[in-house]
Amino acid sequence: MKAINPKNNELIREYPEHTEEEVLKIIGLVQTAHDEWRKVPFTVRAEKMHKAAEILRSRKEEFARLISDEMGKIIRESGAEVEKCAWVCDYYADNAETFLSDEPVQTDARESYVAFDPLGVVLAVMPWNFPFWQVFRFAAPALMAGNGAVLKHASNVPGCALAIEGIFREAGFPEHLFRSLLIKPSLIPKVINDSRIKAATLTGSEPAGAAVASLAGRNIKKTVLELGGSDPFIVLDDADLQKCVTTAVQARMINAGQSCIAAKRFIVVESRLKEFEDMFTSQMAALKLGDPLDESTDVGPLAREDLVREIERQVNASVAAGAKLLLGGKRKEGEGAYYLPTVLTGVKAGMAVFTEETFGPVATIIPVKDENEAIAVANDSEFGLGASLWTADIEKGKKLAREIQSGSVFINGMVKSDPRLPFGGIKKSGYGRELSHYGIKEFVNIKTVWIG
């Protein structure tokens, strides 16, 4: 398994893959660790999870460099990602016991309550775009709930996978409670079919989610899926355009646009269209493309060469279908998997950049007549992850938020994940929730206890 630096396509390191025999042995070790861990008091679990947060913060520069080298994220964002992982560790260390305390219910029994017991060993199939955050937002609640975990991380970030395993071990968790499997996707069915795996969670593409859900379903195992997004960013006629545009650029270009919740379809009422196009394109053009390790860089490379080719296909097909190119529209000359910040306007339903998820630095502007058409266009998607809505009328914004088909709506703000709020989508963006008290309850047995 090879880690390739996308800024120059050079080999960082090659890692030996686990054999099928080694995978089955690791699952057994995790199961044994879980059998003891589930009995450990919350206070002890919390102590170790706080220690994991301390390790993340104390070695932030080291882990940030690892992230940037393996998948190309600019170093400022990599450091922020590590900090966010520490936050989620502390959050669940502080709140897990409260979230999972027995809930008394008044019935005709002498006593009745709802208890929350760990499920067992959970498989996590995770992507490369936030190689630490995606893992920790699953692992922190799962481990605090008393579960064990095996991680099948994306094949281009093996160093991150092993580093995370090392963090939990160094923090004092049982040696084999959290293990990373360096395996090809072809071995995932073997893992899901194993009776010791009780549930699975996946963050990734729609085809990958469908495959894992199908396998888990045949084995009657719980799944949580966080899949793709084509998030709308709706600009109404009374929006504060200065703040709106600055946020729009940030929302589109985080992680070079490689984020499921990055704003992708900018739906703008015609009365503000020209002003939005000019301001947005100007700010996009001012972004500095370059070395992700340079603190002044705004946009790094895409994570792999095939991702550049996919963005090229989507943009070229949309321009051929009538979209107007305002900026960019091609890869950067020279080495590395770079694509220029790109703005397309006049985008319509049916174009590739409208119907598909665009995982790169490409923004699409879609003109609409009014707020009713804006909501209709926002909902005209197979996806439903997040949405951003901009208006000075907060009551109107709250009303329209109810009409938007998505897992979250941010009014006058950028869609983002927060440990305190549930995160997930509907439609082909997946099901189930991560984070908050909802997330920790996804992988527990919600058990009724009735005493006569």
DSSP state of 302: -
Average pLDDT over residues 313-319: 98
Per-residue model confidence (pLDDT) at position 304 = 96
Domain check: are 243 and 143 in the same one? Answer: no
Residue 350's SS3 state is coil
Q: What is the pLDDT of residues 138-166, one digit of tens each?
A: 999 999 999 999 999 999 999 999 999 99
Q: Which residues pair with 233 in a beta bridge?
A: 266, 388
At residue 312, the pLDDT reads 98
Under a CB-based contact definition with an 8 Å cutoff, are residues 292 and 72 in contact?
yes
Dist. CA 77–CA 68, nearest whole Å: 9
Same domain, 337 and 375: yes
If asked whether residues 51 and 135 sit together in one domain, one would say yes
260 annotated active-site: yes
Q: Are residues 81 and 196 in the same domain?
A: yes
Co-location of 211 and 246 in the same domain: no
Question: What is the band of 45 on the pLDDT scale with cuts at 50, 70, 90?
Answer: very high
Question: Does residue 101 fall inside a structural domain?
Answer: yes
299 within a domain of the structure (yes/no): yes
Q: Give the residue-averaged pLDDT of 372-382.
A: 98
pLDDT mean over 177-204: 98
List the CATH number of the domain containing 201.
Answer: 3.40.605.10
Is 424 among the domain residues? no
- Compute the average pLDDT of residues 37-55: 98
* Overall average pLDDT of the 193-200 stretch: 98
**Both 41 and 184 in a single domain?**
yes
CA 282 – CA 248 distance, rounded (Å): 12
Say which CATH number the domain at 384 has.
Answer: 3.40.309.10
Task: pLDDT band for 207, please (50, 70, 90 cuts).
Answer: very high
Claim to verify: residue 222 and residue 237 sit in the same structural domain: no
SS3 of 126, please? coil
| Percent with pLDDT over 70 in the chain | 100
**Are 184 and 324 found together in one domain?**
no
3-state helix, strand, coil in the chain (%, to 5): 45, 20, 35
Over residues 431-436, mean pLDDT: 98
Do both 186 and 239 map to the same domain?
Answer: no
What percent of the chain is modeled with pLDDT above 90?
Answer: 100
226 is catalytic: yes
User: Is 237 found in the same domain as 177?
Assistant: no
Say how many C-beta atoms besides its own lie within 10 A of residue 8's C-beta. Answer: 12
Segment 289-297 shows an average pLDDT of 97
Residue 423 covered by a domain: no
Evaluate whether 345 touches 367 at the Cβ level (below 8 Å).
yes
Q: Which of 89, 160, 244, 260 is catalytic?
A: 260
* Per-residue pLDDT tens digits for 48-82: 999 999 999 999 999 999 999 999 999 999 999 99
Residue 124 counted as domain residue: yes
Averaged pLDDT of the chain: 98
> What value does the mean pLDDT take over residues 320-326?
98
C-beta neighbour count of 77 within 10 angstroms? 19
Q: Range of 114's domain?
A: 2-227+429-451
Q: Which of 81, 165, 226, 277 is catalytic?
A: 226
Considering the domain architecture, whether residues 13 and 122 belong to the same structural domain is answered as yes
Task: For residue 439, tell me if it sits in a domain.
Answer: yes
Q: Closest by alpha carbon to 424, among 263, 262, 261, 265? A: 261
Total number of domains constituting the chain: 2
List, for residues 3-37, the tens digit of each pLDDT value. 999 999 999 999 999 999 999 999 999 999 999 99
Cβ-count burial 120-158 (b if 16+ within 10 Å, e if not): bbbbbbbbbbbbbbbbbbbbbbbbbbbbbbbbbbbbbbb
